[in-house]
Structure 1
């Protein structure tokens, strides 16, 4: 199983009706800490990043696995309710060769809250 990475924006804020909520600690940091404290699936690691430039989209993260896989950006995540689904989605992604998990096998948040997907960067 290949190594995959969940990169979590630690500065993300929650948005309500397009307005960022001044909440501390920031939800992005709380999401990062909750994932770091969780029992991670095999082959999955979590890193934090200060900004993913998705500020209008609430808590965001990137799921990546190297140049042979698709990369996904997910947004509007909730540190209090989405950790288990994120981990299930990361495990399913890690089990693929190309990063494409069949739509029906993805957690609902990965079906509904995908901000972007980036094609493999292989030559």
Structure 2
């Protein structure tokens, strides 16, 4: 069975911010989970979003693992019909606001396309990749 594209409504968030909650530097203890930097980053973003104007535009989602172990903490930013970005090297104590600033820029950018100089300083050198928007059935062949 072929999956059908998701139809968004006006009440759906405009983008999704995935945070790797299992992220931890090499040698950092696995337990307790709440002490892992990735989990702390997720919680810091969750706290900030509660009072941020973006709270209705962003779906903040925990990710079990983004496979960025050598560049923890990792996040992914995506939206239907827009570029997807993958970042590493995020600090739970320092970059939560920079990440939300980047989300705001992403939402304002055409197709989510952000040049290096558009992103906050903390998210310039930490980019690990970007993926072009998926083609819809109408765009293919």
Normalised by the size of structure 1, how large is the TM-score?
0.86
RMSD between superposed Cα atoms in Å: 1.9
Task: Tell me which residue corresponds to 1:114.
Answer: 127
Task: Tell me which residue corresponds to 2:58.
Answer: 44
Query: Gaps (5+ residues) in structure 1?
Result: none
Aligned residues: 118
Higher relative contact order (CA 8 A, sep 6+): 1
Q: How much does 1:104 deviate?
A: 2.1
SS of match in other structure, 1:29: helix
**Structure number having the greater strand percentage:** 1
Bigger Cα Rg: 2
**8 Å contact from structure 1 (residues 44, 94) kept in 2:** no
1:76 matched to 2:89: yes
Q: Distance in 2 between matches of 1:56 and 1:11?
A: 13
Q: How much does 1:102 deviate?
A: 3.6
> 1:56-113 CA deviation, whole Å, 9 max, x = no partner?
11100100011x1110000011000000100000011011230112432210122110
